[in-house]
Amino acid sequence: MRGADPRWQDLGLTLLVQLAVTMPFVVPRAPELPAATWSSYAMTTAAVLPLVWRRRAPVTVLAAIVTLGGVYKVAFDGPGQPLPYAGLIAFYTVALQCTPRVRAAVGLATVVALALSVGWETGTARELLFTLFVSAAAYALGRLQHTRQAYTEALLARAAELERANRIEAEQAAARERARIAREMHDILSHAVSIMIVQAEAGPVAVRRAPERAEAAFEAIAETGRDAMGQLRAMLGVLRTDETAPRSPQPGIAGLPELVDRVRAGGLRVSYERTGTVRELPAAVGTTVHRVVQEALTNVVRHAGASTVRVMLAYGPESLTVEVTDDGRGPGGGVPGGAPGGHGLIGIRERAAAHGGTAWTGPGPEGRGYAVRVVLVTSPLEVGN
C-alpha cells in the first residue's frame, strides 16, 4: 500500500477491525449466555471508529478507545473479544509516532489500565501476563516500524543526494568535454587554415618568380587540408555511437617532425630539438605537447612575421618543458588573435593545467621575438610508459 493516501489506509484498517469485532455478534452463542444486543454492538463499533484518526491524534485515539472499552465492560453485557484489536493498534501507533516522554507516560498509564481491567474481570496472573505480553508486542512492532521508516527515509535521502551529485558530475564532465572538443577544433582548424593561407599567398609569387616552387606550395596546401580533414574525422568519429565509426589515435610527440615540416614548407626556418633523457610518455601528455606546439607555430605563422622558429623539448626527471621561440615582432606586435589571452593561448594554459603544469608566454630571449613555455608534470609512475 506504499504511495496510497494514509487516510484511505486508516479507513480500510478501521473497516477490517470492525469486521473482526463483529464476528462474536454473528456467531451463535451458548443458550446460557446473554443475547447480543444492538446497543452493545453500537458501543463496540464506537470503540473502533477512532482508529480513522489514529495518525493525527494517537494519544487521544488510544484514550478514547480505552475509555469506550471500559464503559462497554461496565455497562453492557455483550460478547467479549478474543483480543482488544482497536486498543492494540492505537498503542502501536503511539509507539510509532510519539516522542519518548509521551510514550513513557502512555505506557505507564496503559499498564495501570490493563491491571485494573484484568482485576475487574478474572484477576488471574495468567490473564495479566498475557495481556501485558500482547501489549508489549504491539509496542515493539511500533518501534520496529519507526526504525524501518527512518532507515528507509535515510536511504531515500542518500539516493537523492547521490543522484544530485551524479547529475552535477555529469554536467561538469559534459562541460569539460565540450571545452576539450572546442580546443581540439580550434587547434586543428586554426593551424591548417593558417598554413594554407600562407602557402596560398606564396603561390602566385612562386608562379611568377620560381615556377618550380609553385607546385610544392600547392601540394603543401593539399597535404595540410588532407591532414586537417583526417584529424577532424578521427575526432568526430569518437562522438559517434556506432562501433563502425573510424578510430585513430590522437597526434602525439612522434608527429612533431611532420608538423614542423609542414610549417617549414611555408618558408619559415624551423628547428626541432630534444634534450635530456628522451622517453615515452602517456598518450594524453603526448597529445598535449603536440597541440601546444601546433598552436604556438600557428600563432607564429599568423601574427609574428618571424623568419626563424625554434621548437625544443626538454625532458626532466619528473617534468617535460616545451618551448617555442621566434624572432618575430614579439608581444603586442601582431593582431589581436595572437595576443596573450586569445583563445589559442587560453587553450594552451588549460592543457597545461590539466597535467598539473604551467604555461608562460612573453618576450623571447634578450627581449626579441616571442616565446611560449609550457612545463608539464610527469610523475615517476608515468616514466617509461
Check pLDDT > 90 for residue 148. yes
66, three cell numbers:
480505552
Mean pLDDT of the region 243-250: 54
Q: Is 338 a domain residue?
A: yes
Higher pLDDT, 160 or 226: 160
Reference 178, options 235, 247, 233, 250; nearest CA is 235
68-97 pLDDT, tens digit per residue, is: 888 888 777 777 777 888 889 999 999 999
Check pLDDT > 70 for residue 230. no
CB distance 178 to 335 below 8 Å: no
Q: Is 293 a domain residue?
A: yes
324-360 pLDDT, tens digit per residue, is: 999 887 765 443 334 444 556 777 888 888 888 889 8
Q: Is 267 a domain residue?
A: yes
Q: Is 235 a domain residue?
A: no
Higher pLDDT, 55 or 196: 55
Mean pLDDT of the region 133-151: 92
Q: For residues 170 and 172, what is the distance between their CA atoms, to the nearest angstrom?
A: 5
Q: Is 46 a domain residue?
A: yes
Residue 304: pLDDT band (50, 70, 90) is confident
| DSSP string for residues in 203-221 | HHHHHHH-HHHHHHHHHHH
Q: 358-363 and 370-377 as β-strands: parallel, antiparallel, unpaired? A: antiparallel
Domain range enclosing 375: 256-385
Angle between helix 58-75 and 100-121 (nearest 10): 10
In the chain, the largest separation of any two C-alpha atoms, in whole Å, equals 135
Mean pLDDT of the region 137-154: 92
Residue 185: pLDDT band (50, 70, 90) is confident
Q: Is 196 a domain residue?
A: no
Q: Quote the pLDDT of residue 348.
A: 83
- Domain boundary (103, 123, 143) is at 123
Q: Is 164 a domain residue?
A: no
The CATH number of the domain holding residue 326 is 3.30.565.10
Mean pLDDT of the region 240-248: 51
Check pLDDT > 60 for residue 383. no
pLDDT above 70 covers a percentage of the chain that reads 76
- Domain boundary (108, 123, 138) is at 123
Q: For residues 175 and 201, what is the distance between their CA atoms, to the nearest angstrom?
A: 38
Average pLDDT, the chain: 80
Q: Quote the pLDDT of residue 174.
A: 79
Reference 235, options 254, 248, 253; nearest CA is 248
Place of cell 587560453: 346
Residues ≥6 apart with Cβ < 8 Å to 351: 183, 288, 291, 292, 359, 374
Give the count of domains, the chain.
Answer: 2
Q: Is 290 a domain residue?
A: yes
- Domain boundary (72, 104, 123) is at 123
